[in-house]
């Protein structure tokens, strides 16, 4: 298997995924390998909104990856009683990032089981 395998991290409590691009399939794949019953927090650190803007040609693929991640995080929330946290950089893009996250993770947003937090650096 390629990618991040979390199956051996049996005491894993917190996991933070940082990325700079729009593709999130690798995050879903990694979470599918998580076996730790101690997992309490899943965090995603997003770059500025403009850094992950994509063209219409790849939107369908990216949208599907985010939809799968949204569904998986809803499952994790229900089965493990955790609230995924999405962190974004401070600055003028903050309000736009809130709207962007709501489009990328609509089910988490609709159910209000997501924490959207400005990074403190």
Q: Report the SS3 class of residue 117.
A: strand
Residue ranges of alpha helices (H) inside the chain are 25-32, 56-80, 94-104, 106-110
**What pLDDT band is residue 28 in, cutting at 50, 70 and 90?**
very high
Domain hosting residue 51, numbered range? 14-118
Question: pTM score, two decimals?
Answer: 0.83
pLDDT in tens, 13-24: 999 998 767 788
CA angle 62-32-48, nearest 5°? 40
Structural domain contains residue 2 = no
User: How many structural domains are present in the chain?
Assistant: 1
Position with higher pLDDT, 54 vs 108: 108
Tens-digit pLDDT profile for residues 33-43: 998 889 999 99
Is residue 83 situated within a structural domain?
yes
- Please report, for the chain, how many H helices and E strands are present, in that order: 4, 4
| Mean pLDDT, rounded, for 75-94 | 85
User: How many Å separate Cα 113 from the centre of its chain?
Assistant: 12
Residue 107 resides in a domain: yes
């Amino acid at each position: 298997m390629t990618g991040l395998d979390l199956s051996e991290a049996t005491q894993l409590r917190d996991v933070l995924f940082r990325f700079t691009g729009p593709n999130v399939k690798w995050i879903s794949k990694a979470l599918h390998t998580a076996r730790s019953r101690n997992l309490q927090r899943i965090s995603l650190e997003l770059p500025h909104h403009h850094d992950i803007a994509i063209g219409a040609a790849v939107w369908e693929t990216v949208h599907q990856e985010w939809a799968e991640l949204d569904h998986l995080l809803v499952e994790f929330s229900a089965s493990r009683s955790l609230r995924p946290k999405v962190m974004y950089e401070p600055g003028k893009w903050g309000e736009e990032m809130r709207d962007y996250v709501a489009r990328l993770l609509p089910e988490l947003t609709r159910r209000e089981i997501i924490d959207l937090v400005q990074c403190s650096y």
